[in-house]
Amino acid sequence: MFNLSPIFAVHISDGVLTWQWLVGGFAVSAIALSIALYRIPQDLIPRIGVLTGVFFVASQLHITLGPTSVHLLLNGLLGAMLGFRATIAIAAGTILQALLVGHGGLTALGVNCAVMALPAVFMGAVFCALPKRYPILLGFFIGTTTAQLSVLLQATVLYLGAGGNWAVIAEANLLLHIPIIVLEGFTVAFALKVLAKARPEWLGIAPELQSSGNTSSIGTSH
């Protein structure tokens, strides 16, 4: 039976987009990565490495939906924990996905990285600005919204940069990812609940300000 997974995936393959979109993707990703790499705090490097692995492994956990399959993104979790530095983990993870398991094309690496990183950075800033009193609700919001933004951005890129019948595929891709968006929310919510207790400083929460399972409304700094 014909495998539709490469078509209905978040990662865009080679030969789909026009060269202008491919060049634009590399330019956007290069700018974002340059900013993220500037003066990285030493204590953040191990966390970036761990989350790069988490991001890569999550892409291997496929969920079958009819004739195709989708996988967790977890870019919302990276955005919450790394802020604008999430671009580093996403860029490294996207390269590994393309080289090791064939997720996305090499010429589309810039676009695929931007599709995942831009929503993560944006929602990381939102996470930083919001109170952390209810990490489960906050995690569900961050997880679902970041995943939704990535899927919408990818569909927009396909719709504008591919032409032909890809517009129909882009619309179908949005519908197919609704279940994964919900699952993404629950996954990030659970992760933030655990981290709020085990590593509150990773979320910008002072441990001494925690009380009875609720976390402080203090902001985070990336």
Rounded to whole angstroms, the Cα distance separating 104 from 10 reads 8
Q: What percent of the chain has pLDDT over 70?
A: 80
Q: With the C-alpha atoms ordered 149, 154, 157, 159, is the resulting torsion angle positive or negative? A: negative
What does the block give as tokens for 36? 């993220």
In angstroms, how far apart are the furthest CA atoms of the chain?
57
Q: Note the pLDDT of residue 11.
A: 78
- Tell which residue, 23, 10, 37, has the closest CA to residue 170: 10
Q: What is the pLDDT of residues 108-130, one digit of tens each?
A: 999 999 999 999 999 999 999 99
Instruction: Tell me the torsion sign for CA atoms 157, 161, 163, 165.
Output: negative
135-144 confidence digits (pLDDT tens): 999 999 999 9
Strands 68-71 and 62-65: antiparallel
Q: For the residues 23-47, what does the mean pLDDT come to?
A: 96
**Tokens standing for 57?**
């492994």
Write out the CATH class of domain 19-209: mainly alpha
Confidence at residue 72, expressed as pLDDT on a 0 to 100 scale: 84
Q: Which residue has the higher pLDDT, 163 or 15?
A: 15
Whether 134 and 140 have beta carbons less than 8 Å apart is answered as: no
pTM comes to 0.84
pLDDT value for 166: 66
The reported pLDDT for the residue numbered 168 is 66
